Amino acid sequence: MTLTSEQTTAGQFWSDAERHLVRYGGPFTPEIIERAAGSFVYTADGRPILDFTSGQMSAILGHCHPAIVATVQRQVASLDHLFSGMLSRPVVDLARRLAESLPAPLDKVLLLTTGAESNEAAIRMAKLVTGKHEIVAFARSWHGMTGAAAAATYSAGHQGYGPTAPGNFAIPTPNPYRPDFTTADGAFDWQRQLDHGFAMIDAQSSGSLAACIVEPILSSGGVIEPPPGYFAALAAKCRERGMLLIVDEAQTGLCRTGDWYAFQRDGIVPDILTLSKTLGAGLPLAAVVTSAEIEQRAHERGYLFYTTHVSDPLVAAVGNTVLDVLQSEQLEVRARELGAFLRNGLLQLQQRHEVVGDVRGRGLMQGLELVVDRKTKQGADALGAQVTRRCLELGLHLNVVQLAGMGGTFRIAPPLTATRDELALGLEILDQALGDTTKAA
């Protein structure tokens, strides 16, 4: 058989990929992606694939949004990168606007590149300001793959890399679907779980508790949303111990959950807030936001986080454009409305398919967990992988949590600019994939 030039090119592509790329996680999606636009990515042979992950949970305005494209083209031609000690208007404007979007006293901003970097900077600041070194996180957390961020990441990546810095502790993840503490009537007793978690922390601590870092919705941990009231109680635990509360809104910040910031639902204000993915709408932009009091104390103690791309003007200009679009199109309202539509569709799938054990999440961050049996809630990693493959064949990219024991949980996070018709198409494909896969089992 004679191969076409396109087949030969594709074959060479995968040969080169296998020969030269370092594998850094789960398997690569078996498609060559040539371009992207709006809610779709397109393969080399022109096949559209509906993107229900917003890229890496980041492209909240869809792919290649015209306003973002225009900003990049304009900014890169005039001011792209500077010496890290130099300031530009896009940087100062973005810092001011982020502060204006947040409750007091969050008004000091550090602009960086990735979520791991922003969490690294936040943890470093918390240690310096408190004079302590111990960090607490959820047992199914994900905060990044660099030193301190990786040490506070417990859902994966701890084995085989040697010891982390002393003083990193985990507390139980408050998972209402799989409660480990229950009341007499079987309801999740999150207060008792939280009390137990901090009793364990107190027993292990050397008296040097600096901070607790948490995600409002644990995305990589299985799209787990702690119950209302939990974060207020957690904040109180931190205050009692002189700890700072760091909230990592890499995926939940900037309208995705239906509020500008997910922590707003719980009536708390973090001591330090980190933003990343959604802030750059797919470009490498992150932020650390804190109070003037904490920033002043850090500065007096010589806070150092001098990096190559701190305060870069190009991505700061993109961040300003992201805020423009979010505000002008009221995308927090859109996320609430489309989120309700999406959730209703997922609940209908739960009614039709016995393997759908739970639907959870908020706004346009939804989770769907597959189980072998609804009564035992036994996970269905293998089925999750099969449904993922079938969805891709049918033209839908879904991200199953690719961690042991969580491979049956889908993270569904389409762009905030997606249409109802696109969401309906995704639900239709997922419905067919679930049906096809369970019939074949």
- Contact between residue 312 and residue 90 where contact means Cβ atoms under 8 Å apart: no
Would you give the DSSP letter of residue 426? H
Cis amide bond preceding 48, omega within 30: no
- Contact between residue 276 and residue 118 where contact means Cβ atoms under 8 Å apart: yes
- Distance in angstroms (rounded) separating the CA atoms of residues 60 and 57: 8
User: Residue 277 catalytic?
Assistant: yes
- Axis-axis angle for helices 381-394, 420-440 (nearest 10): 130
Considering 117, 120, 225, 248, which one is annotated as catalytic?
A: 248
- Give 361's strand partners: 366
Considering 277, 334, 336, 362, which one is annotated as catalytic?
A: 277
Considering 108, 332, 411, 422, which one is annotated as catalytic?
A: 411
Token pair, residue 279, equals: 């802030």
- Distance in angstroms (rounded) separating the CA atoms of residues 441 and 436: 9
Single-letter amino acid, residue 125: M
Considering 120, 215, 259, 266, which one is annotated as catalytic?
A: 215
From residue 73, give the alpha-carbon distance in Å to each of 60, 80, 297, 326, 328: 20, 10, 39, 20, 21
- Contact between residue 231 and residue 113 where contact means Cβ atoms under 8 Å apart: no
Considering 142, 237, 260, 334, which one is annotated as catalytic?
A: 142
Smallest CA-to-CA distance from 171 within 161, 181, 162, 185 is with: 181
What ranges in 84-189 are assigned the alpha helix state H?
89-100, 115-130, 147-151
User: Residue 14 catalytic?
Assistant: no
Alpha-carbon torsion angle 149, 154, 155, 156, nearest 10: 70
- Contact between residue 373 and residue 211 where contact means Cβ atoms under 8 Å apart: no
CB atoms within 10 A of CB 363: 25
Alpha-carbon torsion angle 30, 150, 113, 325, nearest 10: 70
Cα angle 409, 410, 415; round to 5: 155
User: Residue 251 catalytic?
Assistant: yes
- Distance in angstroms (rounded) separating the CA atoms of residues 438 and 441: 5
Considering 117, 190, 241, 251, which one is annotated as catalytic?
A: 251
- Distance in angstroms (rounded) separating the CA atoms of residues 68 and 143: 27
Token pair, residue 106, equals: 């969050």
- Give 36's strand partners: 41
Write out the catalytic residue numbers.
142, 215, 248, 251, 277, 411
